[in-house]
């Protein structure tokens, strides 16, 4: 959005509508993170559940089900009922926790909490910048998405190379990319607040999609920081 368009946008939608919409997005996002954390802790504290998930074919279902839910939400959000979209997001957050429980088995608990607070601080700073900046971040978004594609390719290549140097470089780049994406998508969510005038149903569904984007950014930022600074058991 250029400066002229930004000024026009500011005249169309009120600050209260923007604030209400952003608060709704973050309510869903924080709720999703809490569900993921609760699910992960429950699995990590139960050897029986761990064995049922990680030592059986159920592991592949748990691993790929979240991806399917993300694709389903993204493709069908406009045709869903708001309650269906919310239920899918909740199911996604809970299922994600089943796989993320593995970090409690690999990293020291204190290390996980330390990295979590580092990630939260970086994330908050990026989100505040994206919300308050008057700059057009469209170009930055395109650059970051290209970097994300490169990061995915490098990660796939490193499955075969198993290079610690490449893993370290990918982790550093991943932190930078997902911090930048948080700022970019926060600015986009702010602009999308115009849906507040299009009815509660659409506003709720768009808030869920916005929350999903921010949720993914935080999760990935946390995981890459954990690779860099986490202490293994």
User: pLDDT tens digit string along 130-169?
Assistant: 998 888 888 888 889 889 888 988 888 888 888 888 889 9
Range of the domain at 71: 15-229
Does residue 9 lie within any of the structural domains? no
Q: What is the per-residue pLDDT for 96? A: 94
Tell whether 138 is covered by a domain: yes
| Domain assignment of residue 1, yes or no | no
Ramachandran class of 162: left when φ > 0, alpha when ψ lies in -120 to 50, beta otherwise: left
pLDDT in tens, 40-63: 999 999 999 999 998 888 889 888
Task: Please compute the mean of the pLDDT values over residues 195-218 and round it to a whole number.
Answer: 85
Nearest to 208 by CA among 81, 38, 103: 81
Domain-located, residue 10: no
Domains contained in the chain, number: 1
Closest among 107, 88, 86 to 27, alpha carbons compared: 86
With beta carbons less than 8 A apart as the criterion, state whether 233 and 106 touch: yes
The two tokens of residue 201 are 């149903």
As a whole number, the mean pLDDT across the chain is 87
């Amino acid at each position: 959005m250029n400066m002229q368009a930004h000024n026009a946008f500011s005249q169309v939608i009120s600050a209260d509508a923007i604030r209400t919409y952003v608060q709704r997005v973050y309510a869903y996002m924080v709720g999703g993170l809490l569900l993921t954390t609760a699910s992960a802790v429950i699995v990590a504290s139960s050897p029986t559940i761990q064995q049922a998930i990680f030592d059986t074919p159920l592991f592949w279902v748990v691993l790929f089900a979240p991806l399917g839910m993300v694709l389903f939400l993204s493709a069908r959000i406009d045709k869903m009922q708001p309650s269906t979209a919310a239920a899918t997001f909740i199911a996604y957050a809970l299922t994600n926790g089943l796989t993320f429980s593995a970090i409690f088995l690999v990293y020291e608990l204190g290390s996980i909490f330390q990295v979590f607070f580092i990630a939260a601080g970086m994330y908050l700073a990026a989100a505040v910048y994206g919300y308050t900046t008057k700059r057009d971040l469209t170009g930055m978004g395109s650059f970051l998405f290209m970097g994300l594609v490169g990061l995915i390719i490098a990660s796939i290549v490193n499955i075969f190379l198993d290079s610690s140097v490449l893993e370290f470089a990918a982790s550093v780049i991943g932190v930078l990319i997902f911090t930048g994406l948080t700022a970019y998508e926060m600015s986009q969510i702010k602009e999308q607040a115009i849906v507040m005038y299009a009815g509660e149903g659409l506003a709720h569904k768009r808030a869920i999609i916005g929350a999903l984007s921010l949720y993914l950014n935080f999760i990935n930022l946390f995981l890459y920081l954990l690779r860099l600074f986490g202490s293994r058991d």
